[in-house]
Structure 1
Amino acid sequence: MKLKDMSAIVTGGGSGLGAATARALTAGGAKVAIFDFNEEAARAVAAEIGGIAVGCDVANADTVEAAMAEAAKAHGPARILVNCAGVGPAKKVLSKAGVMPLDEYRRVIEVNLIGTFNCLRLFAAAASALDPLETGERGVIVNTASVAAYEGQIGQTAYASSKAGVVGLTLPAAREFAASGIRVCTIAPGIFETAMLKALPEAAQQSLGAAVPFPSRLGEPAEFAKLVTHIVDNVMLNGETIRIDGALRLAPR
């Protein structure tokens, strides 16, 4: 699918990987709607790229339906969905503070996994009613998992299991949507230079980057975004989870 003049939605587009993706899609000629819980951050990126910003809790069915309706009104029916919204708190199941509260685990699953599924299902319902393009495609969905889905570290039980769920839904969703011409892929990034990592001391950032075999540095959000645009463009990419991690394999801690 070519990006030019396509309507795209990026969740979590107010910062980090989502913001870089919104910029890359816009550079390719797409019309981008940014969904983010932090509406102020979404507005800042939207103003930069000439897109629109919509405040949205991805885990809430009603707010996502309303956000998608607003995006369609502004840019026409969306053909591209990139799910970048997520949270990544680190906490042990058992610690000196006691056992992890169930609500803390539930919130990570709600945002990272249920939020991804919620946006995926509503996007697919709308895209399946569109006329197919010359390639036979009606839409493309790109989800965001993590290498933690495969090598979750101590303190990542909630995060790793939520991202493993995103990996697990990719192939069956791609198989189901194949009849409608909607492709589904997932990207599993390693250690990337996001706002959360930038808040760490420089020495800590360098140490994390040094753990990556090659290139021995943190990934750049623009590199993630470049993979998103390639997935959109390459019609044979479907039902696959692609690691982008510089050959990193996470240690237990």
Structure 2
Amino acid sequence: MLNRFFKKRYSKLSPELILLFKQELSFSPKDELLYLDAFTHKSIAAKKSSNNERLEFLGDAVLSSIVGEFLFTKYPEKSEGFLSQMRAKIVSRENLNYYGECLNLEPHISYQRKNVVYKSLLGNVVEALFGAIYLDLGYNKTKAIFINELLLKKSDLSSLEKQNTDYKSRLIVYCQKTKKELTFKLLEETTKGKNKYFIMGGYINGELKGSAEGLSKREAEQQTAKKIIATL
């Protein structure tokens, strides 16, 4: 029964995960402990240092640098605004979750199901994985793996160019054009398990038009704006 809610931390990398690295990402790990931490969620780690939060932080920074460098080279004529928007789309939680699904990472992650928000789990592990690859194999190898095995194989850049997922900016533009005042306010902070949630409300001319929750205020504002746009 407990196995339905609790996935124990593995003591070594499984042959299946090592094979996944080789077949899907074209690399072989050297320091296996790094990858064990990358696939261990804080809900299950015995020690704070033995989970993927620090690697997730590092991976976020590394992927942002890799994608920024890639876009700067690929689009020499594009503006800073275009490059920033494209980078945001590529390293978004939604897109990283998609990569995690493509790689089928979930069976290899150690986590306590009842305390984890699944919608962000895969993207967080992708960040932690690339933080581990960076420490294990260096920046250039990490860049080659992400660009060649994920970005260019799993994403359609032309579709991403046309995709507008910045709902807050779209709503701001709408309100500016219609001469309406838009404000966002924090309605509530809640904690579920070990995760903190922010509930933001979106107001147009002082009237509450929608609200949504997220793991950050920024995410909650985006989801709130998305809901409001759907009603316009």
| TM-score, normalised via structure 2 length | 0.29
| TM-score, normalised via structure 1 length | 0.27
Q: Which has the larger helix fraction?
A: 2
Return the index of the structure with the highest Cα Rg.
2
